[in-house]
C-alpha cells in the first residue's frame, strides 16, 4: 500500500469514479469533490498529497481553484482538461499547476503521471530538507552552509521564489509577476540584470557552486548543488 491521499476534483461522476477506482487499485487513498467552491477550504483542513483538478467545474473553474490553492500550499497539482486550447493557460506557470492531462485519457496513463509527480515532489522536498538553506525575510539575508549574503529586496524576492521550488523553470514574466505585484511594466532585461547581480553576490559571498541556471529561451531555475 502506498497510502498517499489524492484529491479528485471532478463533477462528472463517471469519470471521477473511474479515476478513483484506478488510483485505489494502485494503493492510493482518494477523496472526491464535485464543486470548485469547496476545494480551498477542504485542502486547508485536510492533509493531501496530490490534487487532480478538472477545469470545467460548477461553482468555480479549476484554473481559479488552482491559483487559490497555490496561495497557501505547494501540494502537487495535475490539471484535467477537455480543451486542447486551454493547455497554454495551464502551462502558464503563474497558475502553479505541475502537470496536465487531456481528456479523454487512459486511466493507466493518469496513474503513471500521478506516481511520477509524487516522486518529483518527494525529491524536491528532500533536497529542501537536506540543505540548510535559510532565508531571513526581515534582513533580506540568505544563510547557507555557514555563510551569509545580504541582498536587495528584489534580489531576495527572486531568490525566494526560485529556491522555493528547486528545478522548476520560471519565465521572466513569471518572475516579474511575482516580484512586482502592482503590475508595473518591467522589461525582461531588468530581470536579467537583477539575476546577474544576484548570481554575482551568491558566488562571491555564499557558494562557488551554481545555484541559478538560465534555461535557454525560457527563463531561470534554481537547483541546490548536488
Ligand atoms: Ca468537469
Residue 117 and residue 10 share a domain: yes
CA 27 to ligand 1 center in whole angstroms: 25
Q: Could you tell me which residues come within 8 angstroms of residue 176 by beta carbon, excluding any fewer than 6 positions away?
A: 186, 191
Residue 18 and residue 92 share a domain: yes
Lookup: cell for 108: 493507466
**CATH for 212:** 1.10.10.10
Residue 192 and residue 180 share a domain: yes
CA 115 to ligand 1 center in whole angstroms: 23
CA 109 to ligand 1 center in whole angstroms: 19
Q: Which domain holds residue 147?
A: 133-222
What is residue 117's DSSP assignment?
A: H
Q: Give the chain's mean pLDDT.
A: 89
CA 13 to ligand 1 center in whole angstroms: 9
Q: Of 129, 146, 173, which one is at a domain's C-terminal end?
A: 129
Helix (H, G, I), strand (E, B) or coil at 219: strand
State the pLDDT at residue 36. 96
**CB-proximal residues (5 Å) to ion ligand 1:** 11, 54, 56
State the pLDDT at residue 128. 64
State the pLDDT at residue 145. 82
CA 57 to ligand 1 center in whole angstroms: 5
State the pLDDT at residue 142. 95
CA 55 to ligand 1 center in whole angstroms: 6
Question: Per the structure, how many domains does the chain have?
Answer: 2
Instruction: For residue range 58-80, list pLDDT tens digits in order.
Output: 999 999 999 999 989 889 999 99
State the pLDDT at residue 21. 97
Is this structure's pTM higher than 0.85? Answer: no
Q: Of 106, 129, 152, which one is at a domain's C-terminal end?
A: 129
Residue 177 and residue 165 share a domain: yes
Q: What's the CA gap between 11 and 156, in Å, rounded?
A: 41
Lookup: cell for 194: 537583477
Beta carbons within 10 angstroms of residue 63's beta carbon: 20
State the pLDDT at residue 125. 73
CA 59 to ligand 1 center in whole angstroms: 11
Residue 15 and residue 52 share a domain: yes
Residue 196 and residue 150 share a domain: yes
State the pLDDT at residue 129. 59
CA 14 to ligand 1 center in whole angstroms: 11
Residue 100 and residue 158 share a domain: no
Task: Spell out, as residue ranges, where the chain has pLDDT lower than 50.
Answer: none
CA 7 to ligand 1 center in whole angstroms: 15
Whether the upstream peptide bond of residue 59 has omega within 30° of 0, thus cis, is no
CA-based nearest residue to 173, from 156, 161, 160: 161
204 phi and psi angles, rounded to 5 deg = -70, -45
CA 196 to ligand 1 center in whole angstroms: 44
Amino acid at each position: 500500500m502506498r497510502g498517499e491521499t489524492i484529491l479528485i476534483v471532478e463533477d462528472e461522476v463517471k469519470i471521477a469514479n473511474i479515476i478513483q477506482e484506478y488510483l485505489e487499485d494502485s494503493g492510493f487513498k482518494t477523496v472526491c469533490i464535485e464543486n470548485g467552491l469547496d476545494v480551498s477550504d477542504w485542502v486547508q483542513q485536510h492533509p493531501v498529497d496530490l490534487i487532480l483538478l478538472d477545469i470545467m467545474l460548477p461553482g468555480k473553474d479549476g484554473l481559479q481553484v488552482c491559483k487559490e490553492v497555490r496561495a497557501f500550499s505547494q501540494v502537487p497539482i495535475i490539471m484535467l482538461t477537455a480543451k486542447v486550447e486551454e493547455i497554454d493557460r495551464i502551462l502558464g506557470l503563474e497558475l502553479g499547476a505541475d502537470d496536465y492531462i487531456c481528456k479523454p485519457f487512459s486511466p493507466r496513463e493518469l496513474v503513471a503521471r500521478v506516481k511520477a509527480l509524487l516522486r518529483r515532489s518527494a525529491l524536491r522536498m528532500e533536497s529542501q530538507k537536506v540543505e540548510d538553506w535559510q532565508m531571513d525575510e526581515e534582513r533580506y539575508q540568505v544563510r547557507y552552509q555557514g555563510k551569509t549574503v545580504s541582498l536587495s529586496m528584489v534580489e531576495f524576492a527572486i531568490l525566494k521564489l526560485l529556491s522555493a521550488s528547486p528545478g522548476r523553470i520560471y519565465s521572466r514574466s513569471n518572475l516579474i509577476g511575482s516580484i512586482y505585484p502592482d503590475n508595473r511594466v518591467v522589461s525582461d532585461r531588468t530581470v536579467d540584470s537583477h539575476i546577474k547581480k544576484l548570481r554575482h553576490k551568491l558566488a562571491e559571498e555564499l557558494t562557488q557552486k551554481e545555484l541559478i541556471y538560465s534555461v535557454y529561451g525560457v527563463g531561470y531555475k534554481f537547483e541546490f548543488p548536488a
